[in-house]
Structure 1
Amino acid sequence: MKNIFSILKFTFLLVILFAVIYPLAIYGMAQFSPNKGKGETITQNGRVVGYQKIGQKFNTLNYFWGRPSAVDYNGAGSGGSNKGASNEEYLALVQKRIDTFLIAHPYLNKLQIPAEMVTASGSGLDPNISPQGALIQVKRVANERKIAEKKIKELVEAQCNRPSIMGPKTVNVLALNVALNELK
């Protein structure tokens, strides 16, 4: 009986520690982060349209497309497909993505498509593509929106995020598409 009572006290202590104190401490620390821990949002016309760090699905011809997602851009369930490069199902899926990309971009050939445009990232939620991935879509977006390619290309170059120390340049697809909507 003595052991059961001490086990119950220890369990109660752990519940208080991990179900009350720890979450309150994390919440308190989040209040010092950007947007008070609610994520870095992107707004358009005063309305939140998405999050800076989570990829969004764009598949219409008048928007720039991001990386494919193995989790259909579901932020609650981040993850990759976990299929290797020799998996026949995975290879068929990548080929389907290549074919779809080429239908929308008939001015390209298979070798001109950056790998990121037909393969999902490890998280399935990557919000960024390379400048090259954005630039090959300029012609399609310009044609659909009836805007000069030069103007769209300048927009892409203005949206390039340069790394603070090292790493490749990236383009946030949601931020680019929001800027595209604001383009006159």
Structure 2
Amino acid sequence: MLSQIRPAIVMIVLFTLLTGLAYPLAITGLAQIAFRDEANGSLVERKGVIVGSRLIGQNFAADNYFHGRPSATSAPDPNDSSKTVDAPYNAANSSGSNLGPTSQKLVDRVNAAIEAEFAAGRVDMVAADAVTTSASGLDPHISPQFALAQAPAVAAARKLPEARVRALIEKQIEQRLAGFIGEPRVNVLELNLALDELH
């Protein structure tokens, strides 16, 4: 019996050391050498202060900043732990809304967002990402169309020429990966940081 148990224990210890310790340490070390920025969260730093990540959206609400796409993330309701409340860009609870196309709540939310875009005078045609949430609720990018639609309002709030703001947007557009993967996009955090540097 002991002759059968000993090899089993040796294999458990060996594979625990290999797959639970050696492999994760090797991969972590390799990532730190080859992809240091990505392995550490693609953090964005300004003047020695970490202001965010290129991979996680933030809730910019002020008129003098570009806004990201709506976020469907939530947080526990402080008054009733069995319920949730909207908490835009809550990275601790990344999720989509899971509302289907026949959901009246989704239809009402999208219609309200469209009306808000028109009321703010930001658009003459609403970009899809201006009124719809991403699957994670944390998408850091918006379409160039949505960014350009916000240019007049941001330029007015900052008392800048609209042409200068539009040129900044054009400069910040990230093209398709390898020329055909994905869509052109603008990172909202990096655009807003570049906007702050215009002054």
Structure 1 vs Structure 2 CA RMSD:
2.3
Structure 2 distance, partners of 1:63, 1:36, is: 26
Structure 1 distance, partners of 2:39, 2:20, is: 19
Between 1:41-50 and 1:2-11, the stretch displaced more is: 2-11
Contact 2:121 2:153 in 1 (8 A): no
Alignment gaps of 5+ in structure 2: 74-87
2:164 paired residue number = 151
Question: Any residues of structure 2 matched to 1:50-129 within 5 Å, and which?
Answer: 50-71=52-73, 72-103=88-119, 105-106=120-121, 108-109=123-124, 112-129=125-142
Highest relative contact order (Cα 8 Å, sep 6+), 1 or 2? 1
2:191 paired residue number = 176
Contact 2:127 2:146 in 1 (8 A): yes
Structure 2 distance, partners of 1:23, 1:77, is: 26
User: What is the deviation of 1:170?
Assistant: 1.1
Calculate the TM-score normalised by the size of structure 1. 0.84
2:77 paired residue number = none
1:141 paired residue number = 154
Structure 1 distance, partners of 2:121, 2:9, is: 68
1:27 paired residue number = 28
Give the aligned length.
Answer: 181
User: What is the deviation of 1:49?
Assistant: 1.1
Structure 2 distance, partners of 1:82, 1:180, is: 34
Structure 2 distance, partners of 1:11, 1:63, is: 55
Structure 2 distance, partners of 1:140, 1:168, is: 25
Which letter maps to 2:157? E
Calculate the TM-score normalised by the size of structure 2. 0.79
Structure 2 distance, partners of 1:142, 1:156, is: 12
Structure 2 distance, partners of 1:84, 1:130, is: 23
Percentage of pairs with the same residue: 40
